[in-house]
Amino acid sequence: MLAAVFRGPGELDVTEVPTPGAGTGEVLVKVGANTVCGTDVRILRGEKTRGVARDFVLGHEFSGHVAEVGRGVEGYELGSPVVMAPAIACLRCHYCKRGMENVCVNKRIVGNVVDGGLAEYMRVPAEAVSAGNLFVAHEGIPPEHLALAEPLACCVNGLGNYRVEMDDTVLILGAGPIGLFHLQLALLSGAGKVIVSNPSEDRRVFAKELGAHVVADPTAEDLSEVVSEHTDGLGVDVAVICIGLPSLVNDAIRLARKGGRVNVFAGLSGAGWSEVEANLIHYNELAVTGASDSKRENYDTALRLIESGRIAVDRMVTHRFPLAETVEAIEKSASGEGIKVAVMP
Protein backbone atom coordinates (compact mmCIF):
# COMPACT_ATOMS: atom_id res chain seq x y z
CA MET A 1 0.00 0.00 0.00
CA LEU A 2 0.97 3.64 -0.34
CA ALA A 3 1.92 5.45 2.89
CA ALA A 4 3.55 8.75 3.95
CA VAL A 5 6.47 7.65 6.13
CA PHE A 6 8.29 10.19 8.33
CA ARG A 7 12.05 9.48 8.13
CA GLY A 8 13.25 12.54 10.02
CA PRO A 9 12.95 16.35 9.85
CA GLY A 10 12.32 17.47 6.29
CA GLU A 11 11.94 13.90 5.06
CA LEU A 12 8.52 12.54 4.24
CA ASP A 13 8.67 9.48 2.05
CA VAL A 14 5.45 8.73 0.18
CA THR A 15 6.19 5.14 -0.70
CA GLU A 16 4.95 1.56 -0.98
CA VAL A 17 5.03 -0.37 2.30
CA PRO A 18 3.59 -3.79 3.19
CA THR A 19 -0.18 -3.64 3.81
CA PRO A 20 -0.80 -4.48 7.47
CA GLY A 21 -3.33 -7.07 8.61
CA ALA A 22 -5.42 -7.21 11.78
CA GLY A 23 -3.81 -9.46 14.38
CA THR A 24 -5.43 -10.66 17.57
CA GLY A 25 -7.30 -7.81 19.22
CA GLU A 26 -6.60 -5.41 16.37
CA VAL A 27 -8.80 -3.71 13.76
CA LEU A 28 -7.67 -2.75 10.28
CA VAL A 29 -9.13 0.51 8.98
CA LYS A 30 -9.29 1.44 5.30
CA VAL A 31 -8.53 5.14 5.58
CA GLY A 32 -11.07 7.44 3.92
CA ALA A 33 -9.45 10.73 4.87
CA ASN A 34 -6.68 12.16 6.99
CA THR A 35 -6.75 15.89 7.63
CA VAL A 36 -3.45 17.72 7.98
CA CYS A 37 -2.73 19.35 11.33
CA GLY A 38 -0.26 22.04 12.38
CA THR A 39 1.43 19.33 14.45
CA ASP A 40 2.23 17.36 11.27
CA VAL A 41 3.86 20.46 9.87
CA ARG A 42 5.84 20.97 13.09
CA ILE A 43 6.96 17.31 13.14
CA LEU A 44 8.12 17.55 9.55
CA ARG A 45 10.02 20.77 10.22
CA GLY A 46 11.71 19.17 13.22
CA GLU A 47 10.05 21.67 15.60
CA LYS A 48 8.23 18.95 17.50
CA THR A 49 10.49 16.17 18.71
CA ARG A 50 8.99 15.27 22.08
CA GLY A 51 7.25 11.89 21.82
CA VAL A 52 8.10 11.68 18.12
CA ALA A 53 9.86 8.64 16.66
CA ARG A 54 11.17 7.99 13.13
CA ASP A 55 10.10 5.68 10.32
CA PHE A 56 6.42 5.75 11.18
CA VAL A 57 3.39 6.71 9.09
CA LEU A 58 2.38 10.31 9.79
CA GLY A 59 -1.21 11.45 10.40
CA HIS A 60 -3.41 11.46 13.51
CA GLU A 61 -6.67 12.99 12.25
CA PHE A 62 -8.29 10.25 10.23
CA SER A 63 -11.42 8.27 9.60
CA GLY A 64 -12.30 5.31 7.44
CA HIS A 65 -14.08 2.00 7.32
CA VAL A 66 -13.44 -1.27 9.13
CA ALA A 67 -11.57 -3.49 6.64
CA GLU A 68 -10.65 -6.40 8.89
CA VAL A 69 -11.50 -7.41 12.44
CA GLY A 70 -8.86 -9.31 14.38
CA ARG A 71 -9.50 -12.37 16.51
CA GLY A 72 -11.24 -11.67 19.80
CA VAL A 73 -12.52 -8.22 18.83
CA GLU A 74 -16.20 -7.50 19.37
CA GLY A 75 -18.39 -4.54 18.49
CA TYR A 76 -17.00 -3.75 15.04
CA GLU A 77 -18.45 -4.86 11.72
CA LEU A 78 -16.80 -4.89 8.31
CA GLY A 79 -17.59 -1.67 6.47
CA SER A 80 -18.63 0.37 9.53
CA PRO A 81 -17.40 3.98 9.46
CA VAL A 82 -14.92 4.61 12.27
CA VAL A 83 -12.70 7.31 13.72
CA MET A 84 -9.89 6.86 16.20
CA ALA A 85 -8.80 8.86 19.22
CA PRO A 86 -5.07 8.83 18.45
CA ALA A 87 -3.68 9.16 21.98
CA ILE A 88 -3.25 5.68 23.42
CA ALA A 89 -3.07 6.11 27.20
CA CYS A 90 -1.79 3.44 29.58
CA LEU A 91 -4.88 3.70 31.85
CA ARG A 92 -2.67 2.81 34.84
CA CYS A 93 -0.44 5.82 35.60
CA HIS A 94 -1.08 8.51 38.22
CA TYR A 95 -2.87 10.75 35.71
CA CYS A 96 -4.88 8.05 33.98
CA LYS A 97 -6.26 6.99 37.36
CA ARG A 98 -7.35 10.56 38.05
CA GLY A 99 -9.26 11.14 34.81
CA MET A 100 -6.40 12.92 33.03
CA GLU A 101 -5.53 10.27 30.46
CA ASN A 102 -4.78 13.09 27.97
CA VAL A 103 -1.56 13.79 29.89
CA CYS A 104 -0.73 10.10 30.52
CA VAL A 105 3.01 9.73 31.13
CA ASN A 106 3.13 6.57 29.01
CA LYS A 107 0.94 7.92 26.21
CA ARG A 108 1.72 6.78 22.66
CA ILE A 109 0.27 8.85 19.88
CA VAL A 110 -0.74 7.51 16.52
CA GLY A 111 1.04 9.46 13.80
CA ASN A 112 3.85 10.41 16.26
CA VAL A 113 5.12 6.95 17.21
CA VAL A 114 2.52 4.42 16.09
CA ASP A 115 1.75 4.26 12.33
CA GLY A 116 -0.93 6.82 11.53
CA GLY A 117 -3.59 7.68 8.98
CA LEU A 118 -1.64 8.99 5.98
CA ALA A 119 -1.80 5.57 4.33
CA GLU A 120 -4.30 3.41 2.55
CA TYR A 121 -4.74 1.23 5.64
CA MET A 122 -4.16 1.85 9.33
CA ARG A 123 -3.84 -0.91 11.91
CA VAL A 124 -5.40 0.04 15.24
CA PRO A 125 -3.31 -1.52 18.06
CA ALA A 126 -5.03 -4.00 20.37
CA GLU A 127 -4.69 -1.80 23.47
CA ALA A 128 -6.43 1.04 21.63
CA VAL A 129 -9.23 -1.25 20.47
CA SER A 130 -9.81 -2.64 23.97
CA ALA A 131 -9.70 0.85 25.53
CA GLY A 132 -12.42 2.03 23.16
CA ASN A 133 -10.27 4.49 21.19
CA LEU A 134 -11.95 3.38 17.97
CA PHE A 135 -15.40 4.94 17.63
CA VAL A 136 -18.12 3.77 15.26
CA ALA A 137 -19.64 6.79 13.52
CA HIS A 138 -22.98 7.36 11.83
CA GLU A 139 -23.19 6.30 8.18
CA GLY A 140 -23.23 8.86 5.41
CA ILE A 141 -20.85 11.51 6.79
CA PRO A 142 -17.94 12.32 4.44
CA PRO A 143 -14.69 10.88 5.86
CA GLU A 144 -12.89 14.24 5.75
CA HIS A 145 -15.59 15.69 8.01
CA LEU A 146 -15.37 12.80 10.47
CA ALA A 147 -11.59 13.19 10.61
CA LEU A 148 -12.11 16.59 12.23
CA ALA A 149 -13.38 14.83 15.37
CA GLU A 150 -9.71 14.78 16.47
CA PRO A 151 -8.93 18.51 16.55
CA LEU A 152 -12.47 19.19 17.77
CA ALA A 153 -11.98 16.73 20.66
CA CYS A 154 -8.84 18.63 21.71
CA CYS A 155 -10.88 21.85 21.71
CA VAL A 156 -13.63 20.19 23.77
CA ASN A 157 -10.93 19.22 26.30
CA GLY A 158 -9.71 22.83 26.38
CA LEU A 159 -13.27 24.11 26.84
CA GLY A 160 -13.55 21.88 29.91
CA ASN A 161 -10.56 23.71 31.37
CA TYR A 162 -11.60 27.31 30.64
CA ARG A 163 -15.41 26.86 30.68
CA VAL A 164 -17.89 29.22 29.07
CA GLU A 165 -20.76 30.35 31.30
CA MET A 166 -24.08 31.59 29.97
CA ASP A 167 -23.76 35.08 28.43
CA ASP A 168 -19.96 35.24 28.82
CA THR A 169 -17.95 37.42 26.47
CA VAL A 170 -15.26 35.27 24.89
CA LEU A 171 -12.18 36.47 23.01
CA ILE A 172 -10.67 34.05 20.49
CA LEU A 173 -7.12 35.00 19.53
CA GLY A 174 -6.50 33.44 16.12
CA ALA A 175 -8.98 32.13 13.56
CA GLY A 176 -7.27 29.06 12.15
CA PRO A 177 -9.17 25.77 12.39
CA ILE A 178 -8.62 25.64 16.16
CA GLY A 179 -9.87 29.19 16.75
CA LEU A 180 -12.89 28.51 14.57
CA PHE A 181 -13.70 25.40 16.61
CA HIS A 182 -13.43 27.35 19.88
CA LEU A 183 -15.67 30.04 18.40
CA GLN A 184 -18.36 27.47 17.60
CA LEU A 185 -17.99 25.73 20.97
CA ALA A 186 -18.30 29.07 22.80
CA LEU A 187 -21.51 29.82 20.89
CA LEU A 188 -22.89 26.34 21.64
CA SER A 189 -22.02 26.89 25.31
CA GLY A 190 -24.13 30.02 25.54
CA ALA A 191 -21.58 32.80 25.10
CA GLY A 192 -23.30 36.18 24.85
CA LYS A 193 -20.63 37.67 22.67
CA VAL A 194 -17.64 36.20 20.86
CA ILE A 195 -14.84 38.45 19.61
CA VAL A 196 -12.42 36.91 17.11
CA SER A 197 -9.07 38.46 16.32
CA ASN A 198 -7.10 37.52 13.19
CA PRO A 199 -4.96 39.39 10.65
CA SER A 200 -6.42 37.56 7.62
CA GLU A 201 -9.51 39.16 6.14
CA ASP A 202 -10.74 35.84 4.68
CA ARG A 203 -10.64 34.26 8.10
CA ARG A 204 -12.38 37.19 9.76
CA VAL A 205 -15.16 36.95 7.17
CA PHE A 206 -15.43 33.22 7.81
CA ALA A 207 -15.51 33.74 11.59
CA LYS A 208 -18.32 36.21 11.10
CA GLU A 209 -20.23 33.72 8.97
CA LEU A 210 -19.81 31.12 11.71
CA GLY A 211 -21.43 33.46 14.21
CA ALA A 212 -18.71 35.70 15.67
CA HIS A 213 -20.32 38.91 16.95
CA VAL A 214 -17.20 41.01 16.53
CA VAL A 215 -14.09 40.45 14.42
CA ALA A 216 -10.92 42.50 14.65
CA ASP A 217 -7.68 42.85 12.72
CA PRO A 218 -4.93 43.04 15.38
CA THR A 219 -2.48 44.50 12.86
CA ALA A 220 -4.74 47.46 12.07
CA GLU A 221 -6.83 47.94 15.22
CA ASP A 222 -6.03 48.30 18.89
CA LEU A 223 -7.45 45.09 20.30
CA SER A 224 -7.78 46.52 23.80
CA GLU A 225 -9.98 49.31 22.43
CA VAL A 226 -12.15 46.81 20.58
CA VAL A 227 -12.50 44.69 23.72
CA SER A 228 -13.15 47.71 25.91
CA GLU A 229 -15.85 49.00 23.56
CA HIS A 230 -17.69 45.67 23.60
CA THR A 231 -17.37 44.95 27.32
CA ASP A 232 -18.17 48.32 28.91
CA GLY A 233 -14.49 48.75 29.62
CA LEU A 234 -14.32 45.60 31.77
CA GLY A 235 -12.50 43.08 29.58
CA VAL A 236 -13.58 39.63 28.50
CA ASP A 237 -14.69 36.77 30.72
CA VAL A 238 -12.63 34.29 28.74
CA ALA A 239 -9.66 34.64 26.36
CA VAL A 240 -8.45 31.63 24.38
CA ILE A 241 -5.03 31.67 22.70
CA CYS A 242 -5.41 29.71 19.47
CA ILE A 243 -2.14 30.59 17.73
CA GLY A 244 1.28 29.84 19.20
CA LEU A 245 2.46 33.43 19.17
CA PRO A 246 4.23 34.05 22.53
CA SER A 247 3.11 37.71 22.81
CA LEU A 248 -0.54 36.62 22.76
CA VAL A 249 -0.25 35.29 26.31
CA ASN A 250 0.28 38.78 27.66
CA ASP A 251 -2.45 40.16 25.39
CA ALA A 252 -4.87 37.60 26.75
CA ILE A 253 -4.18 38.31 30.44
CA ARG A 254 -4.38 42.06 29.74
CA LEU A 255 -7.72 41.77 27.98
CA ALA A 256 -9.41 39.55 30.56
CA ARG A 257 -11.60 41.13 33.20
CA LYS A 258 -11.07 40.60 36.92
CA GLY A 259 -11.85 36.99 37.75
CA GLY A 260 -11.50 36.15 34.06
CA ARG A 261 -10.17 32.95 32.56
CA VAL A 262 -7.31 32.61 30.10
CA ASN A 263 -6.53 29.42 28.23
CA VAL A 264 -3.18 28.82 26.56
CA PHE A 265 -4.64 26.37 24.07
CA ALA A 266 -1.96 26.62 21.40
CA GLY A 267 1.56 25.37 22.01
CA LEU A 268 3.89 28.35 21.69
CA SER A 269 6.44 28.51 18.91
CA GLY A 270 10.16 28.43 19.63
CA ALA A 271 11.23 27.39 23.11
CA GLY A 272 7.76 28.15 24.47
CA TRP A 273 8.74 31.21 26.51
CA SER A 274 6.52 34.22 26.93
CA GLU A 275 7.11 37.20 29.17
CA VAL A 276 3.94 38.08 31.04
CA GLU A 277 2.90 40.76 33.49
CA ALA A 278 2.22 38.28 36.27
CA ASN A 279 0.81 40.96 38.56
CA LEU A 280 -2.23 41.05 36.31
CA ILE A 281 -2.85 37.41 37.18
CA HIS A 282 -2.33 38.29 40.84
CA TYR A 283 -4.39 41.47 41.20
CA ASN A 284 -7.11 40.48 38.75
CA GLU A 285 -7.48 36.97 40.17
CA LEU A 286 -7.19 35.41 36.74
CA ALA A 287 -7.37 31.67 36.18
CA VAL A 288 -4.81 30.65 33.56
CA THR A 289 -5.15 27.11 32.22
CA GLY A 290 -3.65 25.03 29.44
CA ALA A 291 -4.86 22.20 27.24
CA SER A 292 -3.11 19.11 25.95
CA ASP A 293 -4.56 16.48 23.64
CA SER A 294 -7.94 14.96 24.43
CA LYS A 295 -9.60 12.22 26.43
CA ARG A 296 -11.80 9.50 24.95
CA GLU A 297 -14.86 11.23 26.42
CA ASN A 298 -13.97 14.45 24.53
CA TYR A 299 -13.77 12.39 21.36
CA ASP A 300 -17.20 10.95 22.05
CA THR A 301 -18.59 14.48 22.49
CA ALA A 302 -16.81 15.78 19.37
CA LEU A 303 -18.19 12.95 17.27
CA ARG A 304 -21.75 13.66 18.44
CA LEU A 305 -21.35 17.36 17.70
CA ILE A 306 -20.26 16.50 14.16
CA GLU A 307 -22.91 13.83 13.60
CA SER A 308 -25.69 16.16 14.71
CA GLY A 309 -24.48 18.97 12.45
CA ARG A 310 -23.77 21.40 15.30
CA ILE A 311 -20.23 22.14 14.12
CA ALA A 312 -19.77 23.37 10.55
CA VAL A 313 -17.15 20.78 9.59
CA ASP A 314 -18.42 20.78 6.00
CA ARG A 315 -17.28 24.37 5.57
CA MET A 316 -13.95 23.85 7.29
CA VAL A 317 -12.42 21.38 4.83
CA THR A 318 -11.32 23.63 1.99
CA HIS A 319 -8.72 21.52 0.13
CA ARG A 320 -8.45 17.84 -0.84
CA PHE A 321 -5.40 15.94 -2.14
CA PRO A 322 -4.76 12.32 -3.15
CA LEU A 323 -2.38 10.32 -0.91
CA ALA A 324 0.40 10.48 -3.52
CA GLU A 325 0.39 14.27 -3.08
CA THR A 326 0.74 14.26 0.71
CA VAL A 327 3.81 16.51 0.60
CA GLU A 328 1.87 19.11 -1.43
CA ALA A 329 -1.06 18.77 0.99
CA ILE A 330 1.18 19.51 3.97
CA GLU A 331 2.73 22.48 2.15
CA LYS A 332 -0.75 23.80 1.40
CA SER A 333 -1.69 23.46 5.05
CA ALA A 334 1.52 25.21 6.15
CA SER A 335 0.84 28.09 3.74
CA GLY A 336 -2.18 29.11 5.82
CA GLU A 337 -4.34 29.25 2.72
CA GLY A 338 -7.82 27.84 3.28
CA ILE A 339 -8.81 26.20 6.57
CA LYS A 340 -8.35 22.43 6.63
CA VAL A 341 -6.55 20.29 4.07
CA ALA A 342 -7.64 16.68 3.67
CA VAL A 343 -5.64 13.81 2.17
CA MET A 344 -7.97 11.24 0.65
CA PRO A 345 -6.28 7.87 0.00
Contacts to Zn ion by CB under 5 A: 37, 39, 61, 89-90, 93, 96, 104, 106, 151
Laid out side by side, the sheet with 169-173 consists of: 214-216, 193-197, 169-173, 236-241, 256-264, 287-290
Give Cα 49 distance to the centre of its chain.
18
The closest alpha carbon to 333, from 39, 38, 58, 112, belongs to: 38
Q: Which is nearer to Zn ion, 102 or 198 (CB)?
A: 102
We find the least distance from the C-beta atom of residue 177 to Zn ion, in angstroms, to be 9
Q: Which is nearer to Zn ion, 193 or 296 (CB)?
A: 296
Q: Which is nearer to Zn ion, 110 or 214 (CB)?
A: 110
Report DSSP state, residue 119: B
Counting Cα atoms < 13 Å in the Cβ hemisphere of 262 gives 24
- Run of H or E including 67: strand 62-69
| Length reported for the chain | 345
Q: Which residues pair with 289 in a beta bridge?
A: 263
Q: Which is nearer to Zn ion, 106 or 224 (CB)?
A: 106
Pairing assessment for the beta strands 214-216 and 193-197 based on DSSP bridges: parallel
SS3 170: strand
* Beta carbons of 275 and 245 less than 8 angstroms apart: no
Q: Which is nearer to Zn ion, 61 or 168 (CB)?
A: 61
We find the least distance from the C-beta atom of residue 281 to Zn ion, in angstroms, to be 29
We find the least distance from the C-beta atom of residue 144 to Zn ion, in angstroms, to be 14
Q: Which is nearer to Zn ion, 15 or 106 (CB)?
A: 106
